[in-house]
Amino acid sequence: MTSSAYVLEYHLVNYRRTWRSSALSTMVLPLLTMLGFGLGVGGYVQTDIDGASYLDWIVPGLIASTAAQTALGEATWPVLSSFEWLKVYFAQAAAPLRVGDILGGHLAFMMFRVLLSVVAFLLVAAPFGALHSLWTLAVLPLSVLIGLAVAAPVVAYTASIRSDSYLAILFRFAVLPMSLFSGVFFPIESLPGPLRWLAYALPLWHGVDLTRAATLGLGIGAAGLWHALYLLLWCVAGWFLARWRFQRRLVF
């Protein structure tokens, strides 16, 4: 445990040099999305959804989506670079760190980044009056759950590839469809059957539904528990997959 803290420390020290360039996308992109879709497109949406205006309805979706996007960004290029280009992991593996420490420390840093982005988003969303319930506080642990459910399996994927072409493929064929069809922009009930089941299977929709219940103060009862458990399943399976892939790459 303490050893993964050293790894986390390394990533945090590194982040001190690079945070400026990511600050822009962390703060500005959510604001733009909210203005563009929430206010812009929302202005043309006539009906309420789940008893909320389109802006209020879309904000929690965007929060969950931001958590997933940040986790994805951190679980792809930085991980590939640590294996292929900068070879940071190999340097770490030469120190008395176990594979689990290296992976755990990096995942912890990714979750730190997820929290930063989500807090930034909440700060931007609050003045628009889009947060309706005290349950909004639950969004913080929730975003870590969503972030890890996405990051852990994606880290496993990244640890299995050698070229960044495969990252482009991941983003085009998996990430973009997931972001567009997981109930962030419109209710998935309007999706045709097979696509709806795909949305059920991927982690993001569960995160969106939970986050939406939190910011709008909707009681979703047992469904919420199932969502959380399903996300947890992605986290655990992803962790073991990732550790297996890391083991294969670092110990041979």
Partner 1 sequence: MLTLVLPKLVSFEGSGGRAVRVTERNVNALKSAYWVVMAGGLLEPVLYLFSIGVGVGALIGDIGLPGGRTVSYTEFVAPAMLAASAMSGALAETTFNFFGKMKFMRLYDGMLATPIRPFEIAVGELIWAMVRGSLYSIAFLAIMVVMDLTTPLRALAAFPAAVLVGFAFGALGMTVATLIRSWQDFDLIGAGQFALFLFSGTFVPAEAYPAVLRWLVELSPLYRSVDLIRGISLGTAGWAQVVDVVYLLVLLAVGLTVAGTRMGKLLCK
Residues near partner 1 (CB under 8 A): 18, 21-22, 24-25, 28-29, 32-33, 35-37, 40-41, 43-47, 49, 54, 163, 165-166, 168-169, 171-173, 176-177, 180-181, 185-186, 190-191
Q: Which is nearer to partner 1, 23 or 232 (CB)?
A: 23
Q: What is the rounded distance in angstroms from the CA atom of residue 64 to the CA atom of residue 245?
A: 27
For the chain, the straight-line distance linking the first and the last C-alpha, in angstroms and rounded, comes to: 24
Q: What residues contact residue 223 under an 8 Å CB cut-off, 6+ apart? A: 209
Q: Which is nearer to partner 1, 41 or 233 (CB)?
A: 41
Locate 203 and state its tokens. Answer: 């982690």
Contact 144, 113 (CB under 8 A): no
| Smallest separation, CB 52 to partner 1 (Å) | 13
Q: What is the rounded distance in angstroms from the CA atom of residue 250 to the CA atom of residue 90?
A: 7
| Smallest separation, CB 29 to partner 1 (Å) | 6
Q: Which is nearest to 41 in space by CA: 23, 50, 51, 53? A: 53
Q: Which is nearer to partner 1, 61 or 147 (CB)?
A: 61
| Smallest separation, CB 177 to partner 1 (Å) | 6
| Smallest separation, CB 68 to partner 1 (Å) | 15
Locate 129 and state its tokens. Answer: 């009056």
Q: Which is nearer to partner 1, 23 or 126 (CB)?
A: 23
Q: Which is nearer to partner 1, 40 or 217 (CB)?
A: 40
Q: Which is nearer to partner 1, 3 or 53 (CB)?
A: 53
Q: Which is nearer to partner 1, 2 or 165 (CB)?
A: 165
Give the other-Cβ count within 10 Å of 242's Cβ.
28
Q: Which is nearest to 153 in space by CA: 178, 136, 130, 134? A: 178
Angle at alpha carbon of residue 1, lines to 119 and 235, rounded to 5°: 55
| Smallest separation, CB 99 to partner 1 (Å) | 28
Contact 144, 71 (CB under 8 A): no
Place of tokens 């696509």: 195
| Residue 35: DSSP 8-state | I
| Smallest separation, CB 41 to partner 1 (Å) | 5
| Smallest separation, CB 200 to partner 1 (Å) | 16
Amino acid at 201: A
